[in-house]
């Protein structure tokens, strides 16, 4: 594609316009308080990085023309109750919005061209499998909807590697080319006006005295959580399962005068991640620093990248290398990962062409700001009669955060965790008008409702798991979120506070 600023209005009425690159977070700050404002944030992307690395595009969407929600068992379309489940409603809307023409496949254009985007909570699994309802009611900090998706006709897309930015405006839900062209231009004009203002974000303020560690409350003591882990191990030796992903809940309140978006900015500095995001759902916010891709498809090829195996980062280069080597040499962690790879191969085979499911990377070490992980990559080719929603239904929720066999593992999770997971271990992402889909696994994520914050951390339990080690792993995974809440400023390699 020509490197000069790109602008094209298509015959069907939609437009794609390149605009000068700027800081996505400062643009998002202008709309962050709007209902269903959405940031899909490749927070690890850097100029001129290897294009094969995860994380390149950041997207901003706001003011959807249609809203799909599910709360307390009731699915709604624009607030009107519906007699279908959330995933069926999603499928209906995807079919209704198949008005969008085929999008150009020129190099450099964004994979997300507007479409259906938002959050799929873990409990949507109850629409796919017969699963028990959690025995305890949600706490105040877990009152997020089970499902919240908007249909976005106009979005901003930022290529954070090549430093390019685009307005994509479809003119939907208008049908005629003339009406679509008028709406597409009017909607694009609103983003141009916002971009023209675009005030810089204020510098993050880190308190001299962070809030105490007691500001973040763990659901369990060490002893009570280790007892839960032992119960999982007992189920394994009884032959019920091979692995289950158990988690515990943490609760806190906003500290240091922060609001939810300031907290997200701090989390982004402490723990940048390729599949991060911020979503203002109808009565709260979802903040994510997820390192894990769930499902990606361009309409034909499919990719999933499960994470299993974790070590904290070391405080010195030597200690960091030792921890990474310990992870890559761990038979226990590799066994966890391989079990989930087999599960996902099976899930993908249900909607993929025969013989197309391949493991392209197995137990590859990937290092993030606060942890090392083992990451595998499985790819396949989608059958011609299957859609991205079929793919989602075949694989949801992700095997890396359930266990194997999947359904029995989810039953045990429900029994031992007791409360609904909500967004945790669900997914945040998009299904584009152009046929592409990209979603994360909602780990390293928290919900804010009012001043209340809830998040979870967990890990895969297998036969040779040590309860004390598994408890420590939950604390390692929770550390970045707890530090962001408390206001613990990260220290760069030069000894100075990091900033954003």
Alpha carbon distance 7, 27 (integer Å): 20
The answer to whether 475 and 458 have CB atoms below 8 angstroms apart is no
**Phi, psi of 223, deg, nearest 5:** -65, -45
For residue 384 the two structure tokens come to 């011609």
Task: Give the count of beta carbons closer than 10 Å to the beta carbon of residue 297.
Answer: 23
What is the phi/psi pair of residue 126, to 5°? -70, -15
* Helical axes 388-395 vs 86-96, angle rounded to 10°: 170
Cα–Cα separations (whole angstroms), residue 210 to 256, 265, 481: 8, 16, 14
Q: Are 276 and 289 in contact (CB under 8 A)?
A: yes
Other beta carbons within 10 angstroms of residue 227's beta carbon come to: 13
Nearest to 144 by CA among 253, 284, 36: 284
Residues in the chain: 500
Choose among 94, 147, 412: nearest CA to 279.
147
The interaxial angle of helices 388-395 and 331-349, nearest 10 deg, is 140
What the block records as the tokens of 234 is 């007992």
DSSP state string for 86-135: HHHHHHHHHHHTTTSPPPP--TTS-S--SEEEEEE-GGGGGGTS--PPPS
Kindly list the distances between the CA atom of residue 156 and the CA atoms of 28, 32, 426, 488, in Å, as whole numbers in the listed order.
Answer: 10, 14, 24, 32
Give the Å distances, CA to CA, from 191 to 22, 133, 197, 414, 472: 13, 43, 10, 44, 46
**Cβ atoms of residues 382 and 373 within 8 Å:** no
- Phi-psi sector, 302: left (phi>0), alpha (psi -120 to 50), beta: beta
Using an 8 Å Cβ cutoff, are 225 and 469 in contact?
A: no
Q: Please give the angle made by the CA atoms of 252, 210 and 257, to the nearest 5 degrees.
A: 65
Return the bridge partners of 111, or none: none
Do the bridges between strand 437-440 and strand 293-297 make them parallel or antiparallel, or are there none, so unpaired? Answer: antiparallel
Active site residues: 292, 308
Q: What are 155's two structure tokens?
A: 């979005």
């Amino acid at each position: 594609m020509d490197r000069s600023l790109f602008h094209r209005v298509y015959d069907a009425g939609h437009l794609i316009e390149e605009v000068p690159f700027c800081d996505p977070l400062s643009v998002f700050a202008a709309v962050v308080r709007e209902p269903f404002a959405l940031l899909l944030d490749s927070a690890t992307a850097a100029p001129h990085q290897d294009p094969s690395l995860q994380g390149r595009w950041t997207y901003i969407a706001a003011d959807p023309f249609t809203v799909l929600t599910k709360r307390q068992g009731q699915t709604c379309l624009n607030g009107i109750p519906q007699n279908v489940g959330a995933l069926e409603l999603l499928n209906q809307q995807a079919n209704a919005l198949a008005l969008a023409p085929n999008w150009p496949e020129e190099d450099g254009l964004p994979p997300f061209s507007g479409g259906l985007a938002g959050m799929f909570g873990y409990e949507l699994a109850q629409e796919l499998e017969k699963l028990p309802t959690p025995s305890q009611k949600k706490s105040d900090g877990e009152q997020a909807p089970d499902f919240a998706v908007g249909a976005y006709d106009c979005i901003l897309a930022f290529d954070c590697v090549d430093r390019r930015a685009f307005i994509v405006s479809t003119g939907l839900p208008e049908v005629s080319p003339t009406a679509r062209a008028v709406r597409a231009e009017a909607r694009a004009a609103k983003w141009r006006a916002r971009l023209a203002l675009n005030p810089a974000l204020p510098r993050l303020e880190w308190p001299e005295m962070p809030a105490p560690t007691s500001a973040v409350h763990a659901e369990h003591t060490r002893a009570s959580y280790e007892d839960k882990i032992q119960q999982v191990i007992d189920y394994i030796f009884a032959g019920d399962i091979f692995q289950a992903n158990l988690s515990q809940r943490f609760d806190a309140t906003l500290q240091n005068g922060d609001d939810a978006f300031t907290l997200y900015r701090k989390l982004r500095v402490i723990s940048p991640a390729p599949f991060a995001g911020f979503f203002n759902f109808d009565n709260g916010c979802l903040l994510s620093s997820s390192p894990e891709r769930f499902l990606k498809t361009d309409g034909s090829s499919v990719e999933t990248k499960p994470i299993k195996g974790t070590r904290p980062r070391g405080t010195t280069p030597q200690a960091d290398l030792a921890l990474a080597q310990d992870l890559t040499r761990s038979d226990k962690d590799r066994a966890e990962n391989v079990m989930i790879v087999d599960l996902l191969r099976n899930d993908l085979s249900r909607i993929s062409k025969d013989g197309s499911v391949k493991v392209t990377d197995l137990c590859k070490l990937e290092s993030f700001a606060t942890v090392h992980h083992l990451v595998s990559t499985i790819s396949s080719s989608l059958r011609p009669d299957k859609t991205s929603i079929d793919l989602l239904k075949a694989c949801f929720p992700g095997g890396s955060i359930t266990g194997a066999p999947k359904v029995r593992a989810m039953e045990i999770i429900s029994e031992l965790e007791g409360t609904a997971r909500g967004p945790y271990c669900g997914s945040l992402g998009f299904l584009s008008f152009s046929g592409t889909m990209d979603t994360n696994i909602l780990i390293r994520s928290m919900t804010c409702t009012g001043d209340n914050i809830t998040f979870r951390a967990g890990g895969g339990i297998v036969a040779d798991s040590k309860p004390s080690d598994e408890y420590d792993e939950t604390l390692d995974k929770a550390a970045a979120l707890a530090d962001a809440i408390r206001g613990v400023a990260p220290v760069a390699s030069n000894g100075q506070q990091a900033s954003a």
